[in-house]
A and B are shown apart, each in its own frame.
Chain A
Amino acid sequence: MVLSCQDVRKTFGPNVVLDGLSLDVGEHEVVALIGASGSGKSTLLRCVNLLTEIDDGTIRLDGEDITDPRADPDAVRQKIGLVFQSYNLFPHMTVLDNITLAPVRVHRRPVAEAREQAREWLQRVGLADKATAYPDRLSGGQQQRVAIVRALVNSPRLLLLDEVTSALDPELVGEVLTMIRDLKGEGMTMVLATHEMGFARQVADRVAFLDKGKVLEEGPPSRVLGDPAEPRTRQFLARIIEAGRL
């Protein structure tokens, strides 16, 4: 198992956001988290990346307990990539500097080598001409692709994607999804919170439906999305279909 969450609990004041959630992710597996707003998808991803401290339970990365208070969070985060809904690129840095910041400052790699690698990545995702541009010169889709590259140059064991297409104009969603599909082809282990049910069906090996801070139902996308067992899942999907998103 690359990632293993057991009975994870997280509360914000009186709100129980994660209520004994358990989820396993195997090597090269892509798991899509679906569920209504507030069902705990984003919180779970932030907890896995130790940006949010859990209140109970255990999260293991490659069998190692990363929620142990003696674990070094910086070392753990170097092995986990996280991509945000709102890209969160650093506005005062060029695209190239955004990408090479962690390789140079955290992994202490030579600047020339890090830049070379960044340029290769940009070439691959069709953004070679944007290397010296600042983020505000890029479209949302381009910014998000840069944000994904920024996470990938750390060679993470696990990539977390938090509704990475939710802030994009519809015609820009495709370019980001294509990139994620390519990553799956290369065997990247990924957990993605998403509202794109069609995409979840295509790219995920497994879909987990989160409801009230628990995984209510999980399984192959064709079954969970096509023939859900739980009434709550059926209700959720019916609303999605009603909104024209499936």
Chain B
Amino acid sequence: MILQHHTPSDIQRGRIAYRRKQAIRSVLLAALSTAVLGTLLVVLITGAPGWDRVRASFFDPRIARKYLPAILEGLWLNIRLFVVCAACALALGLLIAILRTLRGPVFFPVRTLATVYTYSFRGLPLIIVIYLFAFGIPGLRLQGTPSVTVLGGAAIVITYGAYLAEVIRSGIESVHPSQVAAARSLGLSYRQAMRHVVLPQAVRRSAPPLLNDTVAMQKDVGLISLAGPIDAIRAAQIGVAQEANFTPYVVAGVLFVLLALPLIGVTDFVTLRAARRQNAGT
């Protein structure tokens, strides 16, 4: 269709003017209510009887500057650990999700094991898994036991793999059976239909929840400090102990939030795009 020049009628011009006025009103109202709430919060916190002591023990700029380099160095470990763990957990999740959809009597034990795995590791608290791995496995005194960092990372991978497997499996189940019927009618085997038709759609559909779990994983990587390696949280803890001041924790917390922002942004973008595509018709 060719867009032709069109002069709006008086009625339409009136509508446009009214909507513009309403829009300006909304912006002013939003700004005002934000300012009121912000002022209230500041007055409430800074006016609290213990504010001076809280400020001294949580927001000391001198201590923040002193421990920032050590915390940043620790954060580098978190970042490396996160990238490796995310990749491994995704691969593990995909594998388990596929194992759970396998059909046929031969695969019964594999299916059962995969099911038991996702059930138990989604229930087990991550802290306990990290303790079991980092302190239990070295206790076996086996030759070639990897470092606690690797063991802690493995605990994170195994715990998150169970969550990601369930997200991918729900994605697989959301692909309509008619897609499989169409693929099989063309002569594709079950495996080919799975690989070329079902899985690509399933992964695309489960991208938003997968990314969301990845955001959660990014901060849970910090729990590795419980096993001993000096990551950002451990470095902050050392600072807290030395200065009897909580500022290093606040510094680490702010750094974790900053680190998560890009991934959260990507998640929001992907979720929005997926929602738009869902609404664009079937």
Binding site for B on A (CB under 8 A): 46, 49, 51, 73-75, 77-78, 80-82, 84, 86, 88-92, 101-102, 105-107, 136, 150-151, 154
B184 touches A77 (CB 8 A): yes
- B200 nearest CB neighbor, chain A only: A92
Name the A residues within 8 Å of B187 (CB-CB). 74-75, 77-78, 102, 106-107, 154
A90 to B192, CA, bound (A): 14
Q: How large is the interface on B (under 10, 10 to 19, 20 to 34, 35 or more residues)?
A: 10 to 19
A74's partner among B188, B196, B280 (CB-CB below 8 A) is: B188
- Closest 3 interchain pairs by CB? A78-B187, A88-B182, A102-B186
Name the B residues within 8 Å of A81 (CB-CB). 185
Q: List 7 A-B contacts (CB under 8 A).
A: A74-B184, A74-B188, A77-B187, A88-B179, A90-B179, A101-B183, A102-B188
B174 within 8 A of A: no
Name the A residues within 8 Å of B115 (CB-CB). none
A90 to B189, CA, bound (A): 16
Interface string of B163-202 (1 = CB under 8 A from A): 0000000000000001101111111110010001100110
B186's partner among A46, A73, A151 (CB-CB below 8 A) is: A151
Binding site for A on B (CB under 8 A): 178-179, 181-189, 192, 196-197, 200-201, 204, 280-281
Given contacts A92-B200, A101-B196, A136-B280, contact A84 B188 (CB under 8 A): no
A92's partner among B181, B201, B280 (CB-CB below 8 A) is: B201
Name the B residues within 8 Å of A73 (CB-CB). 184
A227 to B40, CA, bound (A): 87
Name the A residues within 8 Å of B196 (CB-CB). 101, 105
B197 touches A90 (CB 8 A): yes
A105 touches B182 (CB 8 A): no
A80 to B186, CA, bound (A): 8
A151 to B186, CA, bound (A): 7
A45 to chain B, nearest CB (A): 10
B202 to chain A, nearest CB (A): 10
- B176 nearest CB neighbor, chain A only: A88
Given contacts A105-B192, A105-B196, contact A91 B201 (CB under 8 A): yes
Name the B residues within 8 Å of A75 (CB-CB). 187
A106's partner among B186, B200, B201 (CB-CB below 8 A) is: B186
A120 to chain B, nearest CB (A): 19
A81 to B184, CA, bound (A): 10
